[in-house]
């Protein structure tokens, strides 16, 4: 058996337990490299600024007190630089908020430019022995649904083209299927609260959804709006897996799995 047979993309709705699963999988596959949100990754750019040389110079000029930290968390990639800005701990006002403007998500790029960045990075990727947290479905689809206002069929077409880009590469998608979306939200609301019980994640998620173009058009407000959005996303993600990545995927019930059983299914 080769040391590295596969790469793994761990996917599922918010509250599915992706982070826990990634940790358990990496505990089993100790030689594999793990890429979590915010890390520099060969495929994923969430919580990272994707900037040109000119933009990078302007950022350094705007934040002279953070030169060392920014340079430390920057990776050069072709004609662009990638700043893992959420890994920079600072009290400088609005630094993180301003860096969000340089992400490829949240409608910052038009549809064609967004797709080109995704396809180029997956095309160049030839890793082995890597584990990725929500790097092939969640963040891409959220941007396509909420900001680019793409239909389900347009998103399916995108993934058909992406599947061709990935032809010949070793990977498996492990999808954690949340059966009770409402219950999953209740759990994550409690988990992502501070020591005083103040919710941190939930208000931000509701605002993110409400202020998106799709959220505004469909009046997705409050808990019910979030559930409606996640139900649509889950149905779409399962269609993508079933119609496009079926031979490369395994679907397991979120938080009702045994890692060793999943390991057997994906031929690690």
- Alpha-carbon gap, residue 169 to 163, rounded angstroms: 10
Alpha-carbon distance of 210 to 260, in angstroms, equals 40
Q: CB–CB of 35/131 below 8 Å?
A: yes
Nearest to 175 by CA among 230, 265, 250: 250
Per-residue model confidence as pLDDT tens digits over 153-187? 999 999 999 999 999 999 999 999 999 999 989 98
Tokens of 173: 């998608």
Q: Residue 149 half-sphere exposure, CB side, CA atoms within 13 Å?
A: 8
Find the range with the poorest average confidence among 23-37, 103-117, 248-262.
248-262
d(Cα 68, Cα 149) in Å, to the nearest integer?
38
How is the chain split into domains, by residue range? 8-47+103-265, 48-102
User: DSSP labels for 18-53?
Assistant: HHHHHHHHHHHSTTSEEE-TTS--SS--TT-EEEEH
What is the second-level CATH architecture of the domain 8-47+103-265? 3-Layer(aba) Sandwich (3.40)
CA distance 36 to 28: 17
pLDDT digits (tens, 9 = 90+) for 98-136: 999 999 999 999 999 999 999 999 999 999 999 999 999
Q: Is the pLDDT reported for residue 31 higher than 80?
A: yes
How do strand 49-52 and strand 130-133 relate by DSSP bridges? unpaired
Amino acid 265: pLDDT: 57
| Torsion sign across C-alpha atoms 84, 87, 92, 97 | positive
Proportion of the chain above pLDDT 70, given as a percent: 94
Question: Which neighbouring-strand residues pair with 81?
Answer: 51, 76
Joined together, the tokens standing for residue 162 give 């992406």
Confidence of residue 260 (pLDDT cuts 50, 70, 90): low
Mean pLDDT of the chain: 93
Q: What is the pLDDT of residue 172?
A: 95
| pTM for this model (two decimals) | 0.92
Retrieve residue 145's tokens: 């649904």
Cβ contact 267:4 at 8 Å: no
CA-to-CA separations, 88 to 39, 69, 254, in angstroms, rounded: 11, 6, 32
pLDDT, one tens digit per residue, over 33-92 is 999 988 999 999 999 999 999 999 999 999 999 999 999 999 999 999 999 999 999 999
Task: Give dist(CA 28, CA 102) in Å, integer.
Answer: 36
Taking only Cα atoms into account, the Rg of the chain, rounded to an integer number of angstroms, comes to 19
Edge-to-edge strand order for the sheet containing 249-253?
Answer: 33-35, 130-133, 8-12, 172-177, 249-253
Return the pLDDT at 58. 98
Q: Is the pLDDT of residue 264 over 80?
A: no
pLDDT value of position 139: 96
Beta strand extents in 46-91 (DSSP E only): 49-52, 74-77, 80-83
Judge whether residue 2 has pLDDT over 50: no
Percent of the chain's residues with pLDDT above 90: 84
What pLDDT was estimated at residue 165? 98
pLDDT at 263: 60
């Amino acid at each position: 058996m080769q040391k590295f047979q596969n790469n793994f993309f761990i996917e599922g709705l918010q509250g599915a337990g992706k982070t826990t699963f990634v940790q358990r999988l990496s505990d089993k596959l100790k030689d594999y490299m793990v890429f979590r949100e915010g890390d520099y990754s060969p495929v994923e750019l969430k919580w990272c600024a994707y900037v040109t040389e000119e933009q990078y110079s302007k950022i350094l000029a705007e934040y002279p007190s953070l030169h060392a930290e920014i340079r430390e968390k920057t990776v050069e990639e072709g004609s662009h630089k990638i700043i893992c800005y959420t890994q920079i701990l600072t009290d400088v006002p609005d630094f993180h908020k301003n860096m969000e403007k340089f992400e490829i998500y949240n409608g910052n790029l038009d549809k064609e430019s967004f797709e080109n960045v995704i396809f180029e990075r997956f095309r160049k990727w030839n890793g082995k022995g890597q584990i990725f947290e929500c790097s092939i479905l969640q963040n891409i689809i959220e941007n396509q649904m909420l900001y680019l206002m793409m239909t389900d069929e347009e998103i399916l077409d995108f993934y058909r083209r992406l599947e061709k880009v990935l032809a010949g590469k070793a990977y498996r998608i492990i999808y954690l299927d949340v059966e009770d979306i409402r219950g999953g939200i209740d759990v994550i609301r409690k988990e992502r609260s501070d020591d005083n019980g103040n919710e941190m994640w939930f208000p931000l998620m509701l605002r993110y959804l409400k202020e998106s173009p799709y959220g505004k058009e469909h009046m997705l407000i409050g808990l019910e709006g979030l559930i409606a959005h996640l139900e649509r996303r889950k149905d779409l993600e399962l269609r993508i897996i079933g119609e496009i990545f079926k031979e490369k995927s395994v679907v397991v019930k979120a938080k009702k799995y045994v890692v060793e059983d999943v390991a057997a299914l994906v031929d690690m």
